[in-house]
Chains A and B, each alone.
Chain A
Amino acid sequence: MMRVLLEVKPRKKPLLPIEAECITPASFLEERDLTVWKGNRELMLSNVFNVSVTGEVDSVDGVEVVLRGETSRIKRVGEYMEGGRIIIEDDIGMHCGNFMSGGRIEVHGNAAAWLGREMRGGEIICHGDAGDYCASGYRGEKRGMRGGRVEVCGNAGDFAGEHLSGGSLIIHGDAGDFPGVEMRGGEIMIFGDCTRACGNMTGGRCHVFGTVHEMLPTFRNMGEVVHEDTGQVLTAFRGDVANRGKGNLFVGNYQYME
């Protein structure tokens, strides 16, 4: 087992984002210079973090990277990660776990927007809140997250699971506006409330155990069902009829806009 501790050093311009896509477990398997970007300046990883490495391994699965300190503006941590673990002790910046295909990221604070964007596999657990576009896609691309699992213990922002085409997104708190908008596959579970769930969905399944406010009028009410795991009675909808969609939306309560 190898443990990499990255402790953020005090910064002169702490609000400037740092792009650090080099922070993946695999990067620390081999001896090489790692660099990050502060705006338009390229810096050594060690200019921004105190780096300490303990232990040795020969496989990425045995690597654990811990980020400590003020990391809310560090972007792209865990991008393209294929295995191993990343633990973020506080908040994390945007695009954490982009394109991730394996391994596990644990965020103990809040995650900024685009957590797990275009994720393919692996697991992300965010103990705090997630920002907008959690488990979503990229501008113009038809398919967002394709596989893996994202679990948010707090609330999620708007557009959670936008363009979702595979994998699962679990939100224990509330989701904002338009969770599952344009989704075409995969699964979303929202234990709290949200507004306008699944606008324009064409496929996949979404459960909202709380209330969907401003429920869209273009979902066909299929009657009540009992959810197997929770025993809760949910109303089943199919849609979005606006676009020939064949998605399934199950909601605890719903209110149309009126």
Chain B
Amino acid sequence: MSELLVKNAYVIDPVNGINGEVMDIAIRDQWIVEEVGSGAMVIDAKGQLTLPGGIDSHTHICGTKVNFGRYMSPEDMRAGRMPRRGSMHATSGYSVPTTYGNTYRYSTMGYTTLLEGAMAPLEARHTHEEFTHTPLQDTMANTLFDGNWAIMEAVRDGDMRRVAAITAWTLSAVKGFAIKLTNPGGTEAWGWGEDVTCIHDQIPHFEVTPAEIITAMITANEMLNLPHSVHLHCNNLGKPGNYTCTLDTFDLARDLNKNRQTLYATHVQFHSYGGSSWKDICSKSEEITRSLNSKPHIVFDMGQVLFGRTTTMTADGPMEFNLYRLHHNKWSNHDVELETGAGIIPVLYRRSNLVNSIMWAIGLELALLTDDPWQCCLSTDSPNGAPFVRYPEIIAMLMSRRYREEEMSSVHPGTEHRVPLPAIDRELDWEEIAIMTRAAQAKALGLIDIGKGHLAPGAEADIAIYPIQIRDVDPSVDYMKVKEAFATTAYTIKRGRVVARQGDCVVDGINSTIWVDPQVPPEYDISNDPEFVKKFDRYYTVRMRNYPVQDVYLERQVCLRPEVSL
């Protein structure tokens, strides 16, 4: 048994309604408790801002496509190199750091839980292998179902129970956490070099539409009673005028769950464009947030873009090809049989570029125009909009109009006529930032019950102490201090242990992977379904026996076993 007492912590804990109280936090082993003995180790937080450990609900850190981003980019790798030091391994990379680079940088920023945004089931083992080498955070994987043949066939046949059964078996086999749809239907069409433009296009050969897939998966998700909702990357990403597609997609979601949202829309910035071409592209953040404000059953993340060099990576293969045709830099693509796709290209977002400047503004607008911060998760879709190490800049901009104006003055001069940002006065407060960087994520992912995202007794002792006395700081003026404070914690505590201190990671750590195993009754076990098995054997290139991810890949794990209603 180990005991730790964090004294004089200035706590903001939105889940428990605590907004700026100086208090002590008692920790026994990995849990927060009511009190500890006098022998407990003491950390004096000295009134510094203390939050639950950060949670990233959409980031790309591990797996086939992330690693391919590294593989193809030695020029990015040489940008972030550190030697082995103390308990820290060597790291490389800026926009796509090595697994140790990710884990150390997230940890020193106070992040303790990460959701990998996209895992192809066939290649799940790879994601889990990298999770093992991401030791300072708990991890989960969104599992891709956007082009799943068996599911599209079941959707076409209108068999929702079968959709749910396939989903359950797959999630459980690959030790995934949630349903991810990336350009649903589009990734299958891309198997022929084609794409879908929006939710009502027919997918070649399968005779279903993206709308049907989305609706079916939302239904299946609720039948399986999964902790998270469907996690959706809408069709038609990154194209001028795509906001109407996004609005239509939002209209598909009805409020089906009293504990959380029914739909999580990711990187909405990339889906909020007006105009009909790159020449007249403009922000439609007002229309998008108007829809979101009227739909509390949708939660989203920003997908903020920041200027500079980064790498874009997504399962949305056709989108990356279009981007490649614009940028003419290198392009990788990796379609995955019977399931999904992937594309990767490096990009440079420039201030001097009008489109890039508009993108930058839209992300901020989405956060500032959404009334309820519980609906908006802070993200860059790292590394797509920018590497996650730049989150502190976003926080500072959301808290300071002055900072935004300063930035605005150096972007493309045409921007202000195309975006509402200059007219937005709102400055987010500390509690709203705490919500948008951990509490909203915990709620959206359904992790509060297992002790994530809050600091009440019973919670897991994942805590971030930032070196800032917020009572002495006016964030709208001292935004640089805000930025600095969120960049490096005084202490990051993970599972009751100090894992990072002032920028240094001090323990090896062991990651814990959270996954779901829906308790499907035997008659719905799809692995006994002759038709499913026959097609699997015939069209996959891996035998069904060799497909599931073995337990040995999860050194530590938290398996959630929802009771299903089929």
Whether B329 contacts A140 by the Cβ 8 Å rule is no
Contact residues in A for B74 (Cβ distance below 8 Å): 138-141
Whether B329 contacts A142 by the Cβ 8 Å rule is yes
Within 8 A of A (CB), among B58-80: 72-76, 78
Within 8 A of B (CB), among A135-149: 138-142
Interface residues, chain B, with chain A CB atoms under 8 Å away? 72-76, 78, 329
Within 8 A of B (CB), among A105-155: 138-142
Contact residues in A for B78 (Cβ distance below 8 Å): 138
Contact residues in B for A139 (Cβ distance below 8 Å): 74-75
Q: What is the bound-complex CA distance between A142 and B75, given in angstroms?
A: 9
Rounded to whole Å, the gap between the CB of B516 and the closest CB of chain A is 38
Top 9 A-B pairs, shortest CB-CB distance: A140-B74, A140-B75, A141-B75, A139-B74, A140-B73, A138-B75, A142-B329, A140-B72, A138-B74
Contact residues in A for B72 (Cβ distance below 8 Å): 140
Q: Which residue of B lies closest to A138 (CB)?
A: B75
Contact residues in B for A141 (Cβ distance below 8 Å): 74-75
Q: What is the bound-complex CA distance between A141 and B73, given in angstroms?
A: 8
Rounded to whole Å, the gap between the CB of A203 and the closest CB of chain B is 13
Q: Which residue of B lies closest to A202 (CB)?
A: B328
Listed A/B pairs (13) with beta-carbon separation below 8 Å? A138-B74, A138-B75, A138-B78, A139-B74, A139-B75, A140-B72, A140-B73, A140-B74, A140-B75, A140-B76, A141-B74, A141-B75, A142-B329
Contact residues in A for B76 (Cβ distance below 8 Å): 140
Most chain A CB within a 10 A radius of its CB, from B72, B73, B75, B76: B75
Q: What is the bound-complex CA distance between A26 and B74, given in angstroms?
A: 29
Most chain B CB within a 10 A radius of its CB, from A139, A140, A141, A142: A140
Q: What is the bound-complex CA distance between A80 and B187, given in angstroms?
A: 46
Rounded to whole Å, the gap between the CB of A192 and the closest CB of chain B is 32
Q: What is the bound-complex CA distance between A43 and B444, given in angstroms?
A: 55
Contact residues in B for A138 (Cβ distance below 8 Å): 74-75, 78
Q: What is the bound-complex CA distance between A139 and B78, given in angstroms?
A: 10
Q: Which residue of A lies closest to B78 (CB)?
A: A138
Q: What is the bound-complex CA distance between A140 and B329, given in angstroms?
A: 11
A sample of 8 more A-B contacts (CB under 8 A), given A140-B75, A140-B76, is A138-B75, A138-B78, A139-B75, A140-B72, A140-B73, A140-B74, A141-B75, A142-B329
Rounded to whole Å, the gap between the CB of B224 and the closest CB of chain A is 43
Q: What is the bound-complex CA distance between A138 and B78, given in angstroms?
A: 10
Contact residues in A for B329 (Cβ distance below 8 Å): 142
Q: What is the bound-complex CA distance between A140 and B309, given in angstroms?
A: 14
Q: Which residue of A lies closest to B77 (CB)?
A: A140
Q: Which residue of B lies closest to A244 (CB)?
A: B328
Rounded to whole Å, the gap between the CB of A118 and the closest CB of chain B is 10
Contact residues in B for A142 (Cβ distance below 8 Å): 329
Q: What is the bound-complex CA distance between A126 and B74, given in angstroms?
A: 29
Rounded to whole Å, the gap between the CB of B225 and the closest CB of chain A is 46
Rounded to whole Å, the gap between the CB of A35 and the closest CB of chain B is 15
Contact residues in A for B75 (Cβ distance below 8 Å): 138-141
Rounded to whole Å, the gap between the CB of A161 and the closest CB of chain B is 18
Rounded to whole Å, the gap between the CB of A21 and the closest CB of chain B is 14
Binary flags per residue of A59-91, CB closer than 8 Å to B gives 1, else 0: 000000000000000000000000000000000
Q: What is the bound-complex CA distance between A140 and B78, given in angstroms?
A: 11
Q: What is the bound-complex CA distance between A139 and B76, given in angstroms?
A: 10
Q: What is the bound-complex CA distance between A116 and B329, given in angstroms?
A: 24
Rounded to whole Å, the gap between the CB of B481 and the closest CB of chain A is 33
Contact residues in A for B73 (Cβ distance below 8 Å): 140
Binary flags per residue of A5-28, CB closer than 8 Å to B gives 1, else 0: 000000000000000000000000
Q: What is the bound-complex CA distance between A25 and B72, given in angstroms?
A: 36
Rounded to whole Å, the gap between the CB of B68 and the closest CB of chain A is 13
Rounded to whole Å, the gap between the CB of A228 and the closest CB of chain B is 33
Q: What is the bound-complex CA distance between A46 and B329, given in angstroms?
A: 45
Q: What is the bound-complex CA distance between A110 and B550, given in angstroms?
A: 56
Rounded to whole Å, the gap between the CB of A164 and the closest CB of chain B is 16
Q: What is the bound-complex CA distance between A183 and B73, given in angstroms?
A: 19
Contact residues in B for A140 (Cβ distance below 8 Å): 72-76
Rounded to whole Å, the gap between the CB of A146 and the closest CB of chain B is 14
Q: What is the bound-complex CA distance between A140 and B96, given in angstroms?
A: 14
Q: What is the bound-complex CA distance between A140 and B72, given in angstroms?
A: 7
Q: What is the bound-complex CA distance between A138 and B73, given in angstroms?
A: 11
Within 8 A of B (CB), among A93-111: none
Q: What is the bound-complex CA distance between A141 and B72, given in angstroms?
A: 10
Q: Which residue of B lies closest to A142 (CB)?
A: B329
Q: Which residue of A lies closest to B73 (CB)?
A: A140
Binary flags per residue of A179-213, CB closer than 8 Å to B gives 1, else 0: 00000000000000000000000000000000000
Q: What is the bound-complex CA distance between A139 and B71, given in angstroms?
A: 11
Q: What is the bound-complex CA distance between A231 and B73, given in angstroms?
A: 45
Q: What is the bound-complex CA distance between A6 and B74, given in angstroms?
A: 34
Q: Which residue of B lies closest to A139 (CB)?
A: B74
Rounded to whole Å, the gap between the CB of A137 and the closest CB of chain B is 9
Q: What is the bound-complex CA distance between A139 and B75, given in angstroms?
A: 7
Q: What is the bound-complex CA distance between A141 and B348, given in angstroms?
A: 13
Rounded to whole Å, the gap between the CB of A191 and the closest CB of chain B is 33
Q: Which residue of B lies closest to A141 (CB)?
A: B75
Rounded to whole Å, the gap between the CB of B348 and the closest CB of chain A is 10
Q: What is the bound-complex CA distance between A240 and B72, given in angstroms?
A: 24
Rounded to whole Å, the gap between the CB of B237 and the closest CB of chain A is 25
Q: What is the bound-complex CA distance between A111 and B121, given in angstroms?
A: 51
Q: What is the bound-complex CA distance between A96 and B78, given in angstroms?
A: 19
Rounded to whole Å, the gap between the CB of B320 and the closest CB of chain A is 18
Q: What is the bound-complex CA distance between A141 and B77, given in angstroms?
A: 11
Q: Which residue of A lies closest to B71 (CB)?
A: A140
Q: What is the bound-complex CA distance between A138 and B75, given in angstroms?
A: 7
Q: What is the bound-complex CA distance between A104 and B75, given in angstroms?
A: 27
Q: What is the bound-complex CA distance between A206 and B126, given in angstroms?
A: 46
Q: What is the bound-complex CA distance between A140 and B74, given in angstroms?
A: 6
Q: What is the bound-complex CA distance between A142 and B74, given in angstroms?
A: 11
Q: What is the bound-complex CA distance between A139 and B74, given in angstroms?
A: 6
Q: What is the bound-complex CA distance between A19 and B205, given in angstroms?
A: 60
Rounded to whole Å, the gap between the CB of B93 and the closest CB of chain A is 12
Rounded to whole Å, the gap between the CB of A245 and the closest CB of chain B is 12
Q: What is the bound-complex CA distance between A63 and B73, given in angstroms?
A: 38
Rounded to whole Å, the gap between the CB of A240 and the closest CB of chain B is 15
Rounded to whole Å, the gap between the CB of B433 and the closest CB of chain A is 37
Rounded to whole Å, the gap between the CB of A183 and the closest CB of chain B is 16
Rounded to whole Å, the gap between the CB of B72 and the closest CB of chain A is 7
Q: What is the bound-complex CA distance between A139 and B92, given in angstroms?
A: 15
Q: What is the bound-complex CA distance between A160 and B74, given in angstroms?
A: 20
